[in-house]
C-alpha cells in the first residue's frame, strides 16, 4: 500500500488551488516564534524571514507556478494576543504569494461551517486539522483526510462564503 503524501507534498501536488479556513483564536502557543513575539521580539520572527522560513519558501514555490493559495481567518474581537501575532507575521505570507482575509466572528453567525479548520486542495481533497482545547496539535491525530465529494463541497462552500465577507489583510485593523 502506498504511503499518503506528506502535508508539504500535498502543496506540491496541487494544480490549481489550496484554501485554508482557520476558526480558532489561538494555535500552537508553545511555538518559539510566538513566545518570542509575546516577549517583545517583533521583527526577529522566522515567520517574517523570507530566507529562513520553510513555509514562505514553499508558498513562493507553489504560487510561483500558478497555484492560488487563499487563507481566511474567522476571529473574535477584540482579538487575542495570538491573533495579534498572526496578524503581525501575515505580511510574510502575503509577500510569499498567499492571499489572506480576516472575518470578525460576529459576521459569521449565519454561515454553515465545518467543525474543524481545514485545507482544501483543488476542490477535491480536504485535510481537516485537529487541535486540543488550548490550540496545540491533537496527540490523537492532528489531521484527517478525505476525498468525499460532499465534504469537499461543504468545505468549498463554507470557505467561499467566508472569503466573500472577509476583509483583505492589508485593510484589516485589529483592536
In a domain, residue 61? The reply is yes
Query: How far is the C-alpha of 168 from the C-alpha of 91, rounded, in Å?
Result: 12
Model's pTM, two decimal places?
0.93
5: cell is: 503524501
Query: How far is the C-alpha of 154 from the C-alpha of 128, rounded, in Å?
Result: 12
Query: How far is the C-alpha of 158 from the C-alpha of 88, rounded, in Å?
Result: 26
User: What is the tally of structural domains in the chain?
Assistant: 1
pLDDT score of 73: 98
In a domain, residue 3? The reply is no
In a domain, residue 133? The reply is yes
In a domain, residue 89? The reply is yes
Q: pLDDT, tens digit, for every residue of 43-95? A: 755 555 555 689 999 999 999 999 999 999 999 999 999 999 999 999 999 99
Q: pLDDT, tens digit, for every residue of 100-143? A: 999 999 999 999 999 999 999 999 999 999 999 989 899 888 89
Residue 132 has, within 13 A of its CA and on its CB side, a CA count of 9
Please name the residue that has the C-alpha cell 481537516: 128
In a domain, residue 1? The reply is no
Residue 154's SS3 state is helix
| CATH assignment at residue 27 | 3.30.870
In a domain, residue 115? The reply is yes
Strand partners, 17: 68
In a domain, residue 66? The reply is yes
pLDDT score of 33: 87
Q: pLDDT, tens digit, for every residue of 1-44? A: 568 999 999 999 999 999 999 999 999 988 888 998 899 887 75
pLDDT score of 16: 98
Strand partners, 103: 74
Looking at residue 30, what DSSP letter applies? Answer: T
Domain that holds residue 125: 15-171
pLDDT score of 97: 97
In a domain, residue 8? The reply is no
pLDDT score of 60: 96
Residue 68 backbone phi and psi in degrees, to 5: -85, 125
Amino acid at each position: 500500500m502506498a504511503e499518503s503524501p506528506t502535508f508539504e507534498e500535498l502543496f506540491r501536488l496541487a494544480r490549481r488551488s489550496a484554501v485554508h479556513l482557520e476558526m480558532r483564536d489561538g494555535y500552537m502557543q508553545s511555538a518559539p516564534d510566538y513566545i518570542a513575539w509575546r516577549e517583545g521580539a517583533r521583527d526577529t520572527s522566522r515567520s517574517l524571514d523570507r530566507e529562513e522560513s520553510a513555509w514562505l519558501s514553499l508558498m513562493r514555490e507553489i504560487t510561483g507556478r500558478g497555484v492560488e493559495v487563499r487563507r481566511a481567518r474567522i476571529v473574535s474581537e477584540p482579538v487575542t494576543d495570538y491573533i495579534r501575532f498572526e496578524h503581525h507575521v501575515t505580511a510574510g505570507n502575503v509577500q510569499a504569494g498567499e492571499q489572506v482575509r480576516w472575518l470578525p466572528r460576529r459576521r459569521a453567525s449565519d454561515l454553515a461551517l465545518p467543525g474543524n479548520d481545514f485545507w482544501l486542495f483543488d476542490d477535491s481533497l480536504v485535510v481537516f486539522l485537529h487541535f486540543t482545547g488550548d490550540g496545540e496539535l491533537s496527540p490523537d491525530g492532528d489531521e484527517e483526510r478525505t476525498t468525499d465529494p460532499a465534504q469537499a463541497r461543504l468545505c468549498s462552500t463554507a470557505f467561499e462564503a467566508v472569503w466573500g465577507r472577509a476583509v483583505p489583510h492589508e485593510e484589516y485593523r485589529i483592536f
